[in-house]
Structure 1
Amino acid sequence: MLKDKNSYRLLIIEDNLGDAVLIEDYLEECFSHVLLHKVETYQQARTVLQSSKTFDLILLDLTLPDLQGEELVVRILELAPQIPVVALTGVNNIAFSVKALQLGVSDYILKDELSALSLYKNIIHNIERKKYYLDLKSSEKRYNDLFHLSPQPMWVYELDSLRILDVNEAAVRHYGYTEEEFLGLDLFGLRPPEERMTLQENIEIIKNTRRTYGYGVYTHMKKDGSLITVEVHGNEMEYDGLYARIVTVNDITKSLKHTEAIQNQNELLREIAWIQSHKLRAPLSRMMGLLDVLKDVQNADDPEELKFCHEQIENSARELDDIIRTIVNKAEMSQEITSR
């Protein structure tokens, strides 16, 4: 058979010299570059695994002079949790080999059925499977970190029952529930009664269209009964074998109130501008015209007309004063909105 040209580092824990030599011969037949380290006892294996040496795979005989069976398997796995361990066993020890799989070894090989090809397949398969497993665990850890450490409220819910399957700390804090209480809720428990029909309709749309991504703005209800307006981003996922969705929530209640305040302020400013450009000019124009008339009246001998001019000027002044007061009040209201 063609030799594998990749480099591998293997540890053989085997006290039977004949078996160890046979395994070494098979490895030379299959691999071009194998760095092989051989030990005969658990204590020797412990010393090697606690050193700086690293290995791609461990071949472990289940019966060593200083330790055997379940305790041996458990201790080796504790010393090398990231390394695939393949048990070497005889025909009369198959039952325990199966138990060793349950304890965490990657695979087992029957010594009596060992060949170069079977050994090669077993080693490559278990090295690659362990890499895949570690990559998967790393991916799960990244997901857990992103989920549970996110500053945004997030949760996972089952699409059929709508029950909450997982929730992060940000959601627990923001909604006021304990984690246990939150996990006892379904989506209806987070909505006010008047929005529950809309929720049911949205869920039916998601189910019927198998829509992967969704976005919407909804009203949610906290534990204390207060209502908040939220943006919800949702995406489908599989969670422990269940068809589920993960959602991220952004509370926009304050943002909406701020926007509304700005709109109100702008409306007041528009009113002030209109008053200044239209209402303010009318009494001011009348007063200026009356002043011109008053000059002529003062030179004439007509007290009634003079009195009329005075009254009109006074009325225009009062009207102007009212308009200025209105402008001042609206300006103060605008200032209050800005300072909120």
Structure 2
Amino acid sequence: MEKDNNIYRILVIEDNPGDFALIEDFLEDQIYLPEIFQAKNFKEGEQFLKETGWAINVILLDLSLPDKSGEELITEILAISSGIPIIILTGYPDVAFSVRSLSLGVADYLLKDDLTASSLFKSILYSIERKKKSLELEESQKRYSDLFQLSPQPMWVYDINTLRFLNVNNAAIRHYGYSYEEFLTMTIREIRPVEDLPKLDEQISLLRNKTDVHYGGIFRHCKKNGEIIWAEIQSNAIQLDNIDGRVVLVNDVTERLKYILEIEDKNKKLREIAWMQSHVFRAPVARLMSLIDLATNYENTEVEQREFLDKMLTSVKELDTVIRCIAGKTDEIDQ
């Protein structure tokens, strides 16, 4: 059988020479040149781990050592092992204690009487791989936590079924005014205006039926102080502690929308000014031009001439009113 060529550094904490020799044979049967270190009691194991424990891949631990045994031994080894996988090797079949040991954090629990080279090697491989996956998961969770908490924009996770907040970041706490503890007692319904709740219920119904849906839009939110803001949200499905949730990223677009509305209002006033220039302004100008033509190019009686001048004056006053109106609307745009 071909042996595993990977490097394995294994600490065996075992006081019985016969048991240690058997374990050593089993390891050498499966692994090409394993690095095996022995500690004959807890004290030696503690000293070894404090000095060189970082280089160890797995610990094989006998439960009955001269200076410590049982649950106390497991607890203290776990405390100094820095997360190295620990496999218990014992000669006493105790199902309840084996379950208890696993719950304390050991990687596996093996009976010496049933031990074979193959079963020991498989346990070592599985324990190392589980630890590797556990570290990857912890790193992934840390990256998620860092991205979540360090985001300059408000973020939260809520339960898609109960709508309760499961987690919120610091930006959300600052922006909305609620404390972290307050958020965790609330649902997302409580940051929506009452009149917007029917629309929210429709959205939630859609998301519950299609949990993988990316969802976004602009909605009204309420801060703790009662201020209404417009929030652009983007959300995706997420599993948090085995709960179906949604992670939400919020962008407050209140000022942006206010600016757009101001621009639209100014554009409306500009269109009104343009209409005045093209329609209202032209009418008195056209009348003036006609009256001037009649007054200068035709023979008129004194009465007719006076009538033309009165009408000219009326048109001039009308023109002045239009100009003042345009000037007023221009001033409104500049404000």
TM-score for the superposition, normalised by structure 1:
0.84
Paired with 1:124 and 1:175, the residues of 2 have a C-alpha distance of 49
Aligned position for 1:265: 266
Cα pair 1:13 1:58 within 8 Å, conserved: yes
Report deviation, 1:301.
Answer: 9.2
Paired with 1:284 and 1:92, the residues of 2 have a C-alpha distance of 111
Cα pair 1:91 1:112 within 8 Å, conserved: no
Report deviation, 1:292.
Answer: 6.0
Matched residue pairs, number? Answer: 334
Cα pair 1:163 1:187 within 8 Å, conserved: yes
Report deviation, 1:212.
Answer: 3.1
Report deviation, 1:312.
Answer: 3.9
Secondary structure in 2 aligned to 1:86? strand
Report deviation, 1:286.
Answer: 4.6
Secondary structure in 2 aligned to 1:224? coil
Amino-acid identity (%): 44
Report deviation, 1:56.
Answer: 1.6
Residues 310, 99 of structure 1: alpha-carbon distance in 2 compared, 3 angstrom cutoff: same
Secondary structure in 2 aligned to 1:50? helix
Greater Cα shift, 111-120 or 247-256? 247-256
Aligned position for 2:108: 107
Paired with 1:272 and 1:123, the residues of 2 have a C-alpha distance of 84
Paired with 2:187 and 2:284, the residues of 1 have a C-alpha distance of 65
Aligned position for 2:237: 236
Aligned position for 1:333: 332
State the superposition RMSD in angstroms.
2.9
Greater Cα shift, 316-325 or 17-26? 316-325
Report deviation, 1:284.
Answer: 4.2
Paired with 1:211 and 1:38, the residues of 2 have a C-alpha distance of 52
Per-residue CA deviations over 1:77-109 (Å, capped at 9, x if unaligned) read: 222233111122222676544433222111122
Paired with 2:132 and 2:245, the residues of 1 have a C-alpha distance of 28
Report deviation, 1:308.
Answer: 3.9
Report deviation, 1:259.
Answer: 1.2
Paired with 2:253 and 2:262, the residues of 1 have a C-alpha distance of 14
Report deviation, 1:294.
Answer: 5.8
Paired with 1:238 and 1:30, the residues of 2 have a C-alpha distance of 40
Paired with 1:239 and 1:68, the residues of 2 have a C-alpha distance of 38
Report deviation, 1:273.
Answer: 2.7
Aligned position for 1:182: 183
Unaligned runs of 5+ in 2: none
Paired with 1:128 and 1:323, the residues of 2 have a C-alpha distance of 85
Per-residue CA deviations over 1:255-292 (Å, capped at 9, x if unaligned) read: 22221111111111222233334433444455456556
Aligned position for 2:18: 18
Cα pair 1:14 1:41 within 8 Å, conserved: yes
Paired with 2:76 and 2:330, the residues of 1 have a C-alpha distance of 78
